[in-house]
Amino acid sequence: MAIKVCKFGGTSMADGTIIKSVKKIINSDAERKYVVVSAPGKRYSGDAKVTDLLYECHKTLMEDGVCRRGFEPVRARFISIIKELNINFDIIDILNETERKINEEKSEDFTASRGEYLCARVVAAVLGAKFIDSASVIFFKENGSLDDDKTYRAVREACADGEPAVFPGFYGSDSNGKVKTFSRGGSDISGAIIARAVQASLYENWTDVSGFLACDPRIVDSPKPIKKLSYKELRELSYMGANVLHSDSIFPVRKANIPIQIKNTFRPGDAGTSILPSSRYLPDGSTVTGVAGKKNFTVIFIEKSLMNSEIGFIARVLSVLARENISVEHIPSGIDTMSLVIASEQLTDFKLQKIIDGIQAEVSPDTVRVIKDIALIATVGQGMSSSVGTSARLFNAIAAANINIKMIDQGSSEMNIIVGVKNEDYEKCIKAIYSEFFLSPLTRA
């Protein structure tokens, strides 16, 4: 029998009533054998995610020496979930033991991981399935990367009896046996790891939306749903702010050619979005698949005559950023110019000045100029490389909207074109691009 691994996001775990719906989804398909869960998310606008409560819990632990004050909202949340589920499950003893271990470990990662741990214990009880602690099967190396061989072997051994099982997402164990978390949203990665380990036929990622949309619905009314994506398109869109799925979650399943299906917990009948390996991806003829972007970047523009003939020029510039522990998003360049595109959140005024001083000392540029408050917008699609005139259509649409482009960067795969515009033009630019590629001329008019 084919095996499906299902990951359910925080909104899908928000309260007992929704968890009952999740149980129906799982039980409706015998192939849904392994389940990965996030910590409970928001139940309503203004509510707190359990993971956020746990980060606050760690702060109170550091302030008070014990976590009791910060753990109380978490305790109340899980007691409420059990009451709503109306199951015979001794959550009090588990909560007491969890609080004790948080006090003992005094680790932010351990504390933050307890939302997934507790949720998985509850869901395992609801399903009558085996609970497998991810700390016992997902392992990180000393450098923080996943220990693939050890992890996949441990997961296969834990699942060798063939019983249905529930795993907490978001964490594993480091090289010292201590709990280590992924970045936020990392339960998506956990699910992909389990899917790869058990050689699943499909990795289902259940969330609160019916898959990817061609752009942000907060900017464009009712954007077109995306029925299928390639792994590469997913990476590009996720990286640029389409946050349905953690962009790193494709790596485990890509190596095994396991497709991903994005599904909506609250509308399980919706088709969702299929994310497919190249060997199974057949383009539907569309030039552009989606448009996504992010605000608040800073561009450091560097100009120097004969830069291209100066060996090691780029390396020396990047060494300045490395010393300041700054990562670069993009490096558009010309013969005598280069631009460093950096997320503004990394830069204080003091650090920015240190970088400028460092660049001037390292490479003696003719000019260094800083442009702040830049938004990056990516137009993505596998059909772009084979469609004549895509760039012209894109730039004409932006020009027609009276938007000045500050920067252009096209990936070597010819699958995306990134433009930089002022933050204030961000929404207008996305609307212009979406209109050009997704609306008929009559509708645009």
Q: What is the pLDDT of residues 132-183, one digit of tens each?
A: 999 999 999 999 999 999 999 999 999 999 999 999 999 999 999 999 999 8
pLDDT at 443 over 70: no
pLDDT, tens digit (0-9, with 9 covering 90-100), for 1-15: 799 999 999 999 999
pLDDT at residue 340 in the model: 95
pLDDT of residue 64: 96
Give me the pLDDT at residue 409, please: 85
Residue 361, pLDDT score: 95
pLDDT band for 339, please (50, 70, 90 cuts).
Answer: very high
Residue closest to 245 by CA, chosen among 257, 221, 223, 229: 229
406/374 Cα distance (integer angstroms): 8
pLDDT at 355: 96
85-125: per-residue pLDDT in tens?
999 999 999 999 999 999 999 999 999 999 999 999 999 99
Domains and CATH numbers, the chain: 4-278 (3.40.1160.10), 290-444 (3.30.2130.10)
- pLDDT, residue 287, reads 84
pTM value is: 0.85
Does 352 score more than 90 pLDDT?
yes
Q: What is the pLDDT of residues 392-422, one digit of tens each?
A: 999 999 999 999 999 888 766 678 899 999 9
In angstroms, the CA 192 to CA 254 distance is: 9
Q: Percent of the chain scored above 70 by pLDDT?
A: 96
pLDDT tens digit sequence for 210-223: 988 999 999 999 99
Per-residue model confidence as pLDDT tens digits over 191-247: 999 999 999 999 999 999 898 899 999 999 999 999 998 888 888 887 777 777 777
Label the pairing between strands 165-168 and 367-380.
unpaired
Read off the pLDDT of residues 375-393 as tens digits, 9 standing for 90 and up.
999 999 887 766 788 889 9
| Angstrom distance (rounded) from CA 215 to CA 231 | 18
Q: Are 406 and 425 in contact (CB under 8 A)?
A: no
Distance CA 291, CA 402 (A): 19
- Burial (CB count within 10 angstroms: exposed 0-12, middle 13-18, buried 19+), residue 102: buried
Name the more confident of 89 and 309: 89
Q: What pLDDT sits at residue 444?
A: 53
| pLDDT averaged over every residue in the chain | 92
> What is residue 388's predicted lDDT score, i.e. its pLDDT?
81
- Mean pLDDT over 29-39 rounds to 97
Cα distance between residue 67 and residue 63, in whole Å: 9
CA distance linking residue 224 with residue 226, whole number of Å: 6
Residue 226 near residue 290 (C-beta atoms within 8 A): yes
Which residue shows structure tokens 């009791």?
68
3-class secondary structure per residue, the chain: CCCEEEEECHHHHCCHHHHHHHHHHHHCCCCEEEEEECCCCCCCCCCCCHHHHHHHHHHHHHHHCCCHHHHHHHHHHHHHHHHHHCCCCCHHHHHHHHHHHHHHHCCHHHHHHHHHHHHHHHHHHHHCCEECCHHHCCEECCCCCECHHHHHHHHHHHCCCCCCEEEECCEEECCCCCEEECCCCCHHHHHHHHHHHCCCCEEEEEECCCCCECCCCCCCCCCCECCEEEHHHHHHHHHCCCCCCCHHHHHHHHHCCCCEEEEECCCCCCCCEEEECHHHCCCCCCCCCEEEEEEEEEEEEEECCCHHHCCCHHHHHHHHHHHCCCCCCECCECCCEEEEEEEHHHCCHHHHHHHHHHHHHHHCCCEEEEEEEEEEEEEECHHHHHCCCHHHHHHHHHHHCCCCCCEEEECCCCCEEEEEEEHHHHHHHHHHHHHHHHCCHHHHC
